[in-house]
A and B are shown apart, each in its own frame.
Chain A
Amino acid sequence: MAPLATPDLDIERDRQTTPEPPSSWQTVVWNDPVNLMSYVSHVFRTYFGFDTPTAHRLMLAVHHDGHAVVARGPREVMEAHVQAMHDFGLWATVRKDPS
């Protein structure tokens, strides 16, 4: 999957305390049988600011592939995204960029 825009990256970069490059963490959203496709797509669009086709593509990736990386950046920013996703009831996790 192509790298995606990571909102607020510039603002948050100063908080980075570890020596890792700021893009070495990911926010991953996992498929679940409960959340509606229209809802997941809407959350991606409104929270991350993706355009409608991008939000839709990521939602379908979650649905068909079981998960999708929706943001990359510093760990603190990814944790803030995951917290926001949990607020929406989405099953989101933080992980180190495997690449």
Chain B
Amino acid sequence: MSERIVVLEISGLEALHLAGIVGQFRDLLADSRADDDPAVARLLPDAYPDDEAASREFRRLTGGDLLERRAQDAAVLLQTLGLDGGDRSAEDDPDATITIALGETEALAWMRTLSALRLVLATRLGIRTEDDHHPDDPRFGVYDWIGYRLDGLMTALDRR
């Protein structure tokens, strides 16, 4: 494991929620394709906006690897959460605070995955502009919470 560079503190309940969402994200990566799911398509944007053939070729060459790295990042996040099937302490005590120490590789996996979760949620929520935000809709609560956690991680990483 690489030298730890950042320490996160989250509640057991948050850890469980996050693990659930990341689990769904992994299922999405495994089961869906960019052609039939706009959320997956958002993870594989057109590299050549004015050239459909070149975009398709770019996606053909890079898309598989990209989704594989997404799945690896998600696996790292679950592993560092301690909720990948091994340690179940968060389930035993949802109020407990879990301390998660991340090395550079793990921190990268966390930030990429949290941002990807927001992209997927944003696609599902139909967020197209910065004004598409409805605080009364509980689904935006999850979106905002992941953003809050990602921003906190960025602050911690930038402080180093």
- Which A residues are closer than 8 A to B by beta carbons? 33-36, 38-39, 42, 79, 82-83, 86-89, 91-95
Contact = CB atoms under 8 A, between A and B. Distances in A.
Main secondary structure of the interface of A (DSSP, over half): mixed
Interface stretch (B17-25, B39-47, B77-85, B89-97): B39-47
B116 interface: yes
A93 B154 contact: no
Given A33-B132, A93-B49, 6 more contacts: A34-B118, A39-B150, A86-B45, A89-B112, A91-B45, A93-B45
Given A39-B154, A42-B154, A87-B69, A34 B47 contact: no
A27 B150 CA distance: 25
A33 B44 CA distance: 17
A36 B47 contact: no
A83 B129 CA distance: 24
Contact of A36 (B50, B127, B147): B147
